[in-house]
Amino acid sequence: MSKENICIVYGGKSAEHDVSILTAQSVINAMDKDIYNIDIIYITNDGEWIKGQPITEPIEDAEVLRLAKRDETPITHLLRQSTNGGTYDTIFPLLHGPNGEDGTIQGLFEVLDLPYVGNGVLSASSSMDKLVMKQLFANRGLPQLPYVSFLRSEFEKYRSNIIELVNTKLEYPVFVKPANLGSSVGISRCTNKEELIKGIEEALQFDRKLVVEQGVEAREIEVAVLGNDYPETTLPGEVVKDVSFYDYKAKYKDGNVKLQIPADLPEDVAETLRNMAVEAFKATDCSGLVRADFFVTEDHTIYINETNAMPGFTKFSMYPLLWKNMDMSYSELITRLIELAKERYADKKKIKYKMD
């Protein structure tokens, strides 16, 4: 049987560039190289696309994935032809943050009529924008914590009013979040007005739109979702922290967290979380993969926090470990995602684009 041609696209013009490289290393190493021909395309921090040599062996050091050789080949050609001369069966984007999981690169794949892993334009963009996501969740009846949202220009013009609004509507601690970033980049936990102002100024370096959300004393529970029209879910897992806030450093550098899989929850609460994860998946018309994140209080009140349409696949990541608990290996999970991408592409081919 001939191998399938897969192209891994990673890096990107995003604050989550380094996370993407780590994710790419993990996925490349887990892919079955007896089944797939693996090409790589690295997008630099400046947005330049560079195609590397085919990958036939595990990547021991993620730094080798920071390709430096300049490539003058047009992007469209890079994506249309594999290094062995054939076309790609599937593009596998492993890009986090803006220009990667926000629908922009998905739009490029759509225009080029290429099958690709993960969420489409609408689902990617709406899952990336925390404010739009919250509005869609509210429309679906999913319970959420109170929040305040505003633009950079509004903060510059109405600074004192916005600070007063946050202090009136919410109680400390609050979390300040860039609307369009993940991996806890630019997020601050604030316990007073001074920290709030500092957190807002920090977050505005990463996005023009912010969400300030009510903090809550709760467990952080996550559910992995996999599929297209009929998604499946895992049992919930819990992020058990040794730190007060599960930030970027804790996630990707220190490893100061423990993932308890499955989470110690009553059966009915776990089932509710799984059902809510599917509702969140459908709320943003997702496909392929999503990780749904929740807060669960001591009395088992549930609040949905967010969905991540491109969860990381590093050795610290919850998503593949949740599926491992369901007896799906990392390699099998990647194969399943590629199959789902081809399934969705075949389904889209049924759409008519011209009248008879």
Whether residue 19 is annotated as binding a ligand: the answer is no
Helix (H) or strand (E) holding 238: strand 237-241
* Catalytic site includes residue 317: yes
* Catalytic site includes residue 126: no
Rounded CA separation 352/356 (Å): 9
Whole-number pLDDT of residue 242: 66
Q: What is the pLDDT of residues 295-314, one digit of tens each?
A: 999 999 999 999 998 887 77
When pLDDT is averaged across residues 323-348 and rounded to a whole number, the result is: 96
Rounded CA separation 260/239 (Å): 7
Whole-number pLDDT of residue 247: 53
Does the domain made of 147-214 have the CATH classification 1.10.10.10? no
The answer on pLDDT for 67 being more than 90 is: yes
Whole-number pLDDT of residue 241: 75
Amino acid at residue number 110: E
Candidate list 82, 126, 183, 188, residue with the active-site label: 183
Residues 6 or more apart whose CB falls under 8 angstroms from that of 100 comprise 12, 14, 16, 20, 93, 310
Residues 6 or more apart whose CB falls under 8 angstroms from that of 299 comprise none
Rounded CA separation 302/304 (Å): 7
Identify the band that residue 244 occupies on the pLDDT scale cut at 50, 70 and 90.
low
Percent of the chain with pLDDT over 70: 93
φ, ψ dihedrals at 79, nearest 5°: -85, -20
Residues 6 or more apart whose CB falls under 8 angstroms from that of 89 comprise 4, 5, 6, 115, 338, 342
Whether residue 123 is annotated as binding a ligand: the answer is no
The answer on pLDDT for 238 being more than 80 is: yes
Q: What is the pLDDT of residues 251-299, one digit of tens each?
A: 544 456 789 999 999 999 999 999 999 999 999 999 999 999 999 999 9
Q: Where, residue-wise, is CATH 3.40.50.20 in the chain? A: 4-116
When pLDDT is averaged across residues 95-118 and rounded to a whole number, the result is: 92
Whole-number pLDDT of residue 106: 96
When pLDDT is averaged across residues 184-210 and rounded to a whole number, the result is: 92
Rounded CA separation 113/348 (Å): 10
- DSSP-assigned letter for residue 27: H
Q: Where, residue-wise, is CATH 3.30.1490.20 in the chain? A: 147-214
Whether residue 293 is annotated as binding a ligand: the answer is yes
Candidate list 20, 26, 125, 317, residue with the active-site label: 317
Rounded CA separation 116/130 (Å): 24
Whether residue 228 is annotated as binding a ligand: the answer is no
Pick the residue with more confidence: 86 or 212? 212
The answer on pLDDT for 184 being more than 90 is: no
For tokens 């669960």, what's the residue?
296
* Catalytic site includes residue 183: yes
Whether residue 86 is annotated as binding a ligand: the answer is no
So what's the architecture of 127-142+217-346 in CATH? Answer: 2-Layer Sandwich (3.30)
Dihedral in degrees, nearest 10, Cα atoms 77, 83, 88, 93: -80
When pLDDT is averaged across residues 144-159 and rounded to a whole number, the result is: 97
Rounded CA separation 103/99 (Å): 7
Residues 6 or more apart whose CB falls under 8 angstroms from that of 121 comprise 103, 106, 107, 110
pTM (predicted TM-score): 0.90
Whether residue 211 is annotated as binding a ligand: the answer is no
Whether residue 213 is annotated as binding a ligand: the answer is yes
The answer on pLDDT for 182 being more than 70 is: no
Joined tokens for residue 4: 């399938």
Candidate list 14, 16, 101, 238, residue with the active-site label: 16
Whole-number pLDDT of residue 100: 85
Name the region of 12 (left: φ>0; alpha: ψ -120 to 50; beta: rest).
left
Q: Where, residue-wise, is CATH 3.30.470.20 in the chain? A: 127-142+217-346
When pLDDT is averaged across residues 31-50 and rounded to a whole number, the result is: 94
When pLDDT is averaged across residues 227-238 and rounded to a whole number, the result is: 97
Average pLDDT value for the chain: 91
DSSP 45-91: TT--EEE-PPB-S--S-GGGGS--S---S-HHHHHH--TTSS--SEE
- DSSP-assigned letter for residue 250: I
Helix (H) or strand (E) holding 29: helix 17-30
Whether residue 218 is annotated as binding a ligand: the answer is yes
Domain 4-116 in this protein, CATH class: alpha beta
When pLDDT is averaged across residues 198-220 and rounded to a whole number, the result is: 95
DSSP 81-139: --TTSS--SEEEEE--STTTSSSHHHHHHHHTT--BSS--HHHHHHHH-HHHHHHHHHH
